A and B are shown apart, each in its own frame.
Chain A
Amino acid sequence: MKTQELAIKPKMNVILEVDNKMLDEVVVVAYGTAKKGAFTGSAGVVKTEQIEKRQVSDVTNALAGAVAGVQIQSSNGQPGTSAKVKIRGVGSINASSDPLYVVDGIPYDGDISSINSQDIESLTVLKDAASTALYGARGANGVIMITTKKGTSGKAAINFDAKWGVNSRMIKNYDVMTDVVDYMDHAYQALYNAGKYTLGYDDAKSNQYANSYLPVKSKGGLGYQIYTLPEGESLYGLDGKMNPNAKLGYSDGNYYYTPDNWADEIFSNKSRQEYNLNVSGSSDKANYYVSFGYLDDQGIIEGSGFTRYSTRAKGDYQVKKWLKVGANLGYTYSNSRYPGEQTSTASSGNAFLMANMIAPIYPLYVRNADGSLMMNRGRKVYDYGDGVSTKFSRSFMSISNPAGDLIYNKDEYLHDIVNANWYADFTPIEGLTISARYGMNLDSQRYNLLGNVYSGQSASYGGTAYQGHSRKWGFDQQYIATYRKTFNEDHNLDVMIGYDGYKWSEEVVEASGQNLYNPENFHVNNAIDQLIGYGYGNSYATEGYIGRVNYDYKNTYYGSVSFRRDGSSRFHPDHRWGNFWSASAAWILSNESFLEDAKWIDLLKFKASFGQQGNDMIGNYYAYIDQFKMTGANGIFSDGSLYYKGNPDLTWETSTSFNTGFDFSMFNSRFNGSIEYFLRQSGDMLYYKPVGPTAGYQEIPMNVGSMRNSGLELDLNYAIIKNKNITWDVNLNASFIKNKIIELHPDLEGELINSSRIYTEGESMYRMYLVKYAGVDPETGTAMYWAKDKEGNAIKTADYSLASNYKEATDDLLPTVYGGFGTSLNLYGFDASIQLSYQLGGQIYDSGYARFMHGGNSSYAGTNWHKDIYNAWTENNRNTDVPRLNAEDKYASSQSDRWLTSSNYLSLNNITIGYTLPKVLTNKFLVDRLRVYFAADNVALLSARKGLDPRQSYTSATTALYTPIRTVSGGISVTF
């Protein structure tokens, strides 16, 4: 503290100015909190101000670019779904890399989207062993501590916030053909070339061949006739140009066929609205926070959306001097309209796949012969391209029309989520606190599915009904004793011992039926055929004994050791207990005399930690034991089909971490940040060792090998201007990360190949194993791939099956650096902020692009083309790397390193602009604070190719997924 010199006045309040805010800030740590100055580990914090700005229905999405060392990947933009969070890389080949979530001190296995992000005070990402070792078997991938809000001010405050916005597609499609004639020309060319180059026809016969197969669903034709021609004329002339007499639109007497724009019909801008109300306050003895929230996010396609009602009541009370009790109850109801298949990249039910990939020549609606839309009792009739809705059968994804399915099917998940924590702290003697803490999380989910009777696949079954109910229940109990004492003024000691037991179970019942009586009713009793019921349960448990000792001398030298003995039900009783520990230290250099003169330094801390955590997330709950399928019917049982080969010796994956670095704060806290180096090495990796299928199974879980992630993290914040009326901050974080496989199973002799992935000792795990593309044969125009001849010399071949014997490892795909940056400005009541994230130096397999670059083969017939296909080989364009169009060429766009693309990106995640009305004005209406704002989320993405979203994963990206949603909203926030 600074000393303050004050003139003595009769009545005076002494307010000590806090010299170093950082030191007093509190960090949420395992089983408690620590002052930031005393914290010896590594943590990143996202505060409520940052969270509140983001319009996310799931808070994990707000972590993008926000914390050094944390990377967010998302391959599903459906509102209410979580992003994948990777803290300091991926530690294992097969085991999960998901972090552990801890909500108000209780491990949480539920759906993160059930927690209203507006109720969250802070997200603390614990990254190193010193911070996470106390979570033992579950801490290896890092821990995200979610702390909910509580009452702060003495006076009760009422906050109300409302925002209304519009969703749109953030990622637009690749640069594909939109013009009907353009597409037809190329489809014709592919057939013509097949006749000419493969079947050996002359020009006239090739032309005739192409004209006759173009409207047919065979040999690469499109399956639809959409042009009307004068009697006896062909669609394409010998010059390869469309007959000028051809008129778009064709009637076969019953139906009229003309293209629709699928993307326009399937995607639409929809609304998002959110209202939050909370009341909070505190007194000497009590503290309370009560909230209600409503969110309705309509997504961007029909039948998709997320509606959530959430309430939370949190309070604590100092009953006696030695007894404090508290509770935190949250209830969430959500209705998630979550049509299946929207992330299945090969499914005909995927609207994104259809809208993005379909050639611009197909009708989406069925039309009467006169061209009017066909209606069935007021419903539009959709063309499923199955030869049933109309006479034609679509070459691309026949029997499907997600636009119809999304409207007439019904997929909904109704969740009732109760999240309740209780605690009591006893302080029988000075310095000793004994806490009992119970946390319960109940997730009751009901799943209703109606497969419509009007059209499509479900209609073939007479409609389908499905009802499912699952109940997931987690219960955690913690008993912790903490003793704090200061000896001789300078020696501070803090000892903790405790127990943490957690059990989780799920119970599921499901029923389904086909052939519906009432077409609009999803209840199974409404069905008469194929009535089937299911019911099953699973459970999982862990328990741990924990201990920690913190010591510091003069608030300058800090040391901490922690220990946990942990058991998990995933392993055999003989191998289920493991010991996890950490040791760490910090030194506040700025307290030392040698830095006394450097007044500009507020804080300089050196810290280092070392320790071990575990990972038990092998995926199967009973991985140590062989599991069989029990099946049968009509009184005959069968129980010998192996379902899962277990391994009784299986135990933890151990992760050993080292972390060191500096935390600093300078120039009156205007410049602060941290720089850290980390090394995280997993050993005894949980890993499914492939077994030759001759064994009767294909893999066995094992603890084998080790892998290392290491890197540097930088986190900087600078207040460029900081005065009473203007503050302007900038922030930047960057993470440099390297991955290296240290050791694999000895059987593998240093290398594991798993189809298109290769894992080699000494190399990154993010390498692909691909056929190498050798460009186009200038003579023939066919795609060439590298292979070897009998002498082992490299040769180019058009035979992909030969080349697939000579695949090669690619470079490391992992980006060199990723992170985020942003700035915020407050200016006389106006506020503005912008937040971005980025990634540089990596590569990604652009499978979306690959699909658009096909050569017109029948398996791709009716798939749209990327405009890069204009550069395809022709006799007049021989020097190109795009193979010829040819409906009989199978390997024009086969999997190869041709599709590797830079994964660099810059993503504009959020822009917020607000204005807070002057208090003098608002106070007249008894309003403390009134702010109006505008916020835009997921604003833009810059990547190597339009349409490519490298944020999906480290290795591959596609456009056949629920695209991320851009939301632009206006809002108002009022505090009474």
Chain B
Amino acid sequence: MKTKYIVSACAFSALTLNSCVDLDTFPEDKIITSDQKEEVAENDPSKAEAGVNAVFTQFSSYASIITESERHNDIGYPGLMLFMDSNGADFVSDDNGYNWMGNSLTFDDRIFTAYECRMMWGVMYNQIYAANNVVTSVGENPDDPTLQFYLAQALATRAFNYWVLAQNYQFNYTSHKSSPCVPIITEQNAATVSTEGCTRSTVEEVYMQIMNDINKAIGFLENSTIKRRDKRYIDFAVAYGLRARINLTMGNWSDAAKDAENAINNTSATPYTINELKRPAFDTSTDNAWMWGILIAESDRVVTTGICNFPSHMGSLNYGYAWYSGGRQINKELYKSIPETDVRKGWWLNEDVASPNLNEEEKELVEYYFGPYTQVKFAPYNDELETSTNACDIPLMRVEEMYLIKAEGEAMSGNVTGAKATLESFLRDYRDPEYTCKASSPEAMQEEIYRQRRIELWGEGMNWFDVMRLNKGVDRRGAGYPNASSVFNIQPGDPILLWRIPEKEIQANPALSNEDNNEAVPVPSPVPDIE
């Protein structure tokens, strides 16, 4: 009879021995909590750099904006590059189900509930968030050279991010200084913005923020002893290059020229040579011409998706959406303006669907999938034809652009002769040995340089900035758009050119209301095409 008490007593003691359930649980994954991050940083201080690298990883983050459904164009900044290019008149494509840039082709991306509208906004502010995090954790004025280098990375990319935003959400600096631009989120208000919101600053205020950041970054990088490990990071020359762009956008012509020259002098990058351009290229940051880029690894999520990446949407020679969407063509008029002696003529297929840059095998492939004027500028990853591993790096800055900025800066600050020399020597050395510039006024020079930029930077997400900066419209007549419904002639200053703040921001940001948004206007109506 005793046993029952003993056994029951055991049962009771089990009742009290319930410490076996531990309510502190953590993920054991590529997802890590902030507590785990701290623990890692304590055990291995070298991992502190990982937080800084996030500033660059964020550029190619997959499916980070649209969470309710999988959008195959939600691929970070390269996606935005494609949207912006598709807005313009140089980046021709067919509006079909496999063209994920269709909404940007037709400006449906301006509808404030559109996925693309949310991506443009969200991608940029996510990048700013990552930069702000670094500024917060490093502090404003670190003494340690490593920390200074880290801070410079954050500040320079932040300047870049606001520079992109500023040009998409308001017309150009010189004519719209006091117009509303975008909310400025920095380490100062990052913690409170989720509850208090933030209003739109003016164009001038945003550019002040941009200048501040880039100047500080240049200061830290000027005497930095830290050598960047690869071209994802920003070095002294890239920082100068960024400031050259900013000055160009602001119309500070001589400063732009000076910064561009400094960038050229301080970088180890040299333009692609004519020989190098006799084949498709622009796929790896190890190419000499690259100053700054998004580095992609084979194991990155955008690559492992197979088809949700920049090469998939863009590339003619690799597996991806472009094969089925009809690919990306150049504006027919622009193509025709390229002389036969210019090596860049081979970046696109001619009327007979051929390019001297392609070998037999490639020729057969492009003939199968594409029509005239389709790009073959971009090489497949590792130059492997038809590869389905789309791990190409994405160019963010090439040294060629610096020559063009220098020339434009010189021209617009009155030195037309110098500008002409800069442009001619660059083009003769690297693109077209027979090039002669016929322009003689600053404006004509600028127009010619704009044409060169359209050709040189085609498909690299830069064209839209020129459209906005130079107050161009979008005239697609005669460009070869396959759909009548995409042939527009949008006048300069048309409000449709401005991106709109997404509905989600307007609703959730207590400091913004519908009246604060850029005007809602109908999408453009098609106009008759001209041959």
Contacts and interface: CB of A to CB of B under 8 A. Distances in A.
Interface of A: 194, 198-200, 217-219, 320, 322-323, 346, 386-387, 393, 395, 397-399, 424, 426-428, 434-436, 460-462, 477, 479, 481, 498-499, 501-503, 514, 529-530, 532, 536-543, 567-569, 573, 576, 621-622, 625-634, 636-644, 646, 689-698, 700, 747, 752-753, 755, 799, 801-802, 804-805, 858-859, 888, 890
A225 B178 CA distance: 57
Interface string B304-339: 101000000000000100001010000000000000
A621 B27 contact: yes
B130 interface: yes
Counting chain B CB atoms within 10 Å of each CB, the highest count among A320, A629, A700 belongs to A629
Closest 4 CB pairs of A and B: A696-B129, A640-B54, A633-B297, A692-B509
Given A801-B108, A888-B526, 14 more contacts: A218-B96, A387-B369, A426-B8, A538-B29, A622-B27, A628-B37, A631-B300, A640-B133, A692-B193, A692-B198, A693-B125, A755-B503, A801-B522, A805-B520
Nearest to B1: A322
A78 to B, nearest CB: 20
Nearest to A464: B306
A129 to B, nearest CB: 24
B61 A641 contact: yes
Nearest to A534: B30
Interface in B70-92: none
Nearest to A461: B388
A638 B48 CA distance: 9
A632 B134 CA distance: 17
B509 A428 contact: no
Interface string B477-503: 000001111000000000000000011
Interface stretch (B18-26, B140-148, B248-256): B18-26
B282 to A, nearest CB: 21
A427 B1 CA distance: 12
Contacts of A573: 23-24
A690 B507 CA distance: 8
A514 B388 contact: yes
A697 B326 CA distance: 35
A537 B27 contact: yes
Interface string B109-138: 011110000100110011011101110000
Contacts of A542: 21, 23
Interface of B: 4-5, 7-8, 11-12, 14-15, 18, 20-35, 37, 40, 47, 49-58, 61, 64-65, 67-69, 94-98, 102, 106, 108, 110-113, 118, 121-122, 125-126, 128-130, 132-134, 183, 185, 190, 193-195, 197-198, 229-230, 297-301, 304, 306, 319, 324, 326, 368-369, 388-389, 482-485, 502-505, 507-510, 512, 514, 520, 522-523, 526, 528
29 contacts: A198-B484, A200-B528, A218-B326, A346-B69, A427-B4, A481-B15, A530-B388, A537-B28, A542-B21, A569-B23, A626-B33, A629-B61, A630-B31, A631-B300, A631-B301, A632-B50, A633-B299, A639-B54, A641-B58, A642-B130, A691-B194, A692-B194, A694-B125, A696-B190, A801-B111, A801-B522, A802-B520, A805-B514, A890-B108
Given A323-B4, A434-B11, A625-B33, A696 B20 contact: no
Nearest to B198: A694
B186 to A, nearest CB: 11
Given A640-B130, A641-B54, A641-B57, A622 B20 contact: no
A890 B35 CA distance: 50
A474 to B, nearest CB: 12
A633 B50 CA distance: 11
A569 B25 CA distance: 6
Contacts of B18: 477, 479, 499, 501, 543
A693 B193 CA distance: 10
B122 to A, nearest CB: 4
B4 A428 contact: yes
A697 B129 CA distance: 8
A646 B14 CA distance: 36
A631 B512 CA distance: 35
Given A637-B50, A640-B130, A536 B389 contact: no
Given A568-B23, A633-B299, A755-B113, A640 B32 contact: no
A539 to B, nearest CB: 4
Contacts of A639: 32, 37, 40, 47, 50-51, 53-54
A747 B33 CA distance: 28
Given A627-B31, A747-B510, A320 B4 contact: yes
B124 to A, nearest CB: 9
A501 B29 contact: no
A817 B34 CA distance: 48
Nearest to B191: A695
A354 B33 CA distance: 42
Counting chain A CB atoms within 10 Å of each CB, the highest count among B15, B34, B132 belongs to B15
Contacts of A399: 98, 324
Contacts of A498: 15
B53 A636 contact: yes
B30 A692 contact: no
Contacts of A460: 319, 388
A804 B502 CA distance: 13
Nearest to B19: A501
Nearest to B522: A799
A631 B185 contact: no
Contacts of A637: 47, 49-50, 53
Contacts of A697: 126, 129, 194
A428 B10 CA distance: 12
Nearest to B67: A698
Contacts of A426: 4, 7-8, 11
Contacts of A543: 18, 21, 23
A40 B57 CA distance: 58
Counting chain A CB atoms within 10 Å of each CB, the highest count among B27, B301, B483 belongs to B27
Contacts of A387: 324, 368-369
Contacts of A537: 27-29
Contacts of B69: 346
B278 to A, nearest CB: 28
A398 B324 contact: yes
Given A218-B94, A622-B27, A638 B50 contact: yes
A424 B54 contact: no
Contact of B15 (A217, A346, A479): A479
Contacts of A631: 30, 57, 300-301
A501 B21 contact: yes
Contacts of B369: 387
B108 to A, nearest CB: 7
Contacts of A801: 108, 110-111, 520, 522-523
A633 B156 CA distance: 23
A650 B482 CA distance: 53
Nearest to B108: A801
B304 A634 contact: no
A503 B507 CA distance: 40
A568 B129 CA distance: 31
A629 B31 contact: yes
B505 A530 contact: no
Nearest to A434: B11
Nearest to A398: B324
A694 B505 contact: yes
A569 B57 CA distance: 31
Nearest to B51: A640
B376 to A, nearest CB: 18
A201 to B, nearest CB: 10
Counting chain A CB atoms within 10 Å of each CB, the highest count among B97, B190, B483, B514 belongs to B97
Nearest to B12: A434
A399 B307 CA distance: 13
B482 A219 contact: yes
B307 to A, nearest CB: 8
Contact of B298 (A633, A642, A752): A633
A530 B30 CA distance: 19
